[in-house]
Structure 1
């Protein structure tokens, strides 16, 4: 299992495509070079000003080192002002433990469920009946955020999964997401 961040950015009206283009062009390979696994990137189908994405790390130590490398690196420093200008809030971040998630190529709408079960035993019984390995189940990672420059939500115990399943009997939020197609790197001229 990996350490996974589920990041939900609220953007200024009309800025989502600007951020997605910049993100795909500049930030995917920059993060990968720093040792970050960039997972699914999505447009929220119910909110035109929301961009949702995931990234994963082998453990918390690698997370801190990879984030330090990326956010002090030349790619982020060069484009951060443009990226930050698209966002009104980038603090809706869940720190999770799970397999990560990237939709298969050509996938249509993806449903992500964020659930607040009352206790682990009740949730485990629900999951045994309704969730399969393909749902990519994630659970809250309760380790302290050791990269405080990027806040994460704390004081919650959530479960997150992807794909259709019977609605849980507890408070849950379902996100209808459209995958952002990965851009192919353009080879250098010559």
Structure 2
């Protein structure tokens, strides 16, 4: 996947489970049949009214074709889109991303997606860390992340799973807006459960190398404090 959307929806109070049930039942296979890949869908653990999901495409042209087929021509969205939209207050918080390097995209899934009707929630947690930059992530920043940040994350049991930067290509499906005029570097990690994530953050906070060397150098490169999305996979999320 050469194009990724990180989509964060603000929902009406009490509507998140309703949207997740509808999404997991109707909006996964129907999109993938048209050329999109639904990477994962999540509850934001820090906001009960936020639903986060990730969708991928092979190219920007493939994105345009898949989204047109689904939202304009498709019967599934015509049938269930109004119910989904009724749960939402805002669906415009979307980062359009591309892999930061030739091997930094999401790995192939370790197992098949649970079938329709699955309700068992995984204990695992996914964390998306968003770095805001003054300019596009260049080779020097990506090398700094690979050589200095990623090894410390691995040492503290939170190794990066994938890394992406802003895709500045023109939005090929303007009916769905994306955030523009900003530069981000986004990396993902996965943990067996909330306790393992907490252990990682505690070990990182106690690391002298992180606090005295890597974090100050990283902070100097950022235009805003990092943002961390703590994400609980839904029953059918393939990324978990």
Q: Same fold (TM over 0.5)?
A: yes
| Secondary structure of residue in 2 paired with 1:39 | strand
Provide the secondary structure at the position in 1 that maps to 2:133. Answer: coil
Aligned to 2:164: 138
SS in 2 for 1:137: strand
* Structure 2 segments unaligned to the other structure (5+ residues): 100-104, 112-121, 152-158, 190-199, 205-209
Deviation, 1:127, is 3.3
Distance in 2 (CA, whole Å) between partners of 1:69 and 1:25 is 19
1:121-176 per-position Cα deviation (integer Å, ceiling 9, x unaligned): 24531332222784200110000001000000001110111126766423211011
1:116 to 2:132 alignment: yes
1:11-90 correspondence runs (5 A): 11-71=11-71, 72-90=73-91
The farther-off stretch of 102-111 and 27-36 is 102-111
1:182 aligns with 2:236: yes
The 1:8–1:62 alpha-carbon spacing in structure 2 relative to 1, beyond 3 Å, is same
1:56 deviation in Å? 0.4
Aligned to 1:151: 177
Distance 1:13 1:60 in 2: 34
Runs of 4+ with deviation above 3 angstroms: 100-107, 164-168
Instruction: Name the SS of the counterpart of 2:23 in structure 1.
Output: helix
Counterparts of 1:97 and 1:57, CA distance in 2 = 10
Normalised by the length of structure 2, the TM-score is: 0.70
Pick the aligned partner of 1:129 from 120, 143, 148.
Answer: 148
TM-score (norm 1): 0.87
What SS is found at the alignment partner of 1:23? helix
Residue in 2 aligned with 1:94? 95
When the two structures are aligned, how many residues end up with a matched partner?
A: 183
Q: Over aligned residues, Cα RMSD in angstroms?
A: 2.3
Higher helix share: 2
SS at match of 1:158: strand
What is the rounded CA distance, in whole Å, between the counterparts of 1:74 and 1:101 in structure 2?
Answer: 31
Which structure has the larger Rg over C-alpha atoms?
2
Query: CA, structure 1 residues 117+104, in 2 after alignment: closer, same or farther (shift >3 Å)?
Result: farther
Structure 1 residue ranges without an equivalent (≥5): 184-190
Could you tell me how far 1:42 is from its partner in structure 2? Answer: 0.6
1:101 CA displacement: 7.0
In 1, Cα distance between equivalents of 2:109 and 2:160: 10
Q: Point out the more displaced range, 168-177 or 58-67.
A: 168-177
Comparing 153-162 and 169-178, the one that deviates more:
169-178
Contact 2:43 2:231 in 1 (8 A): yes
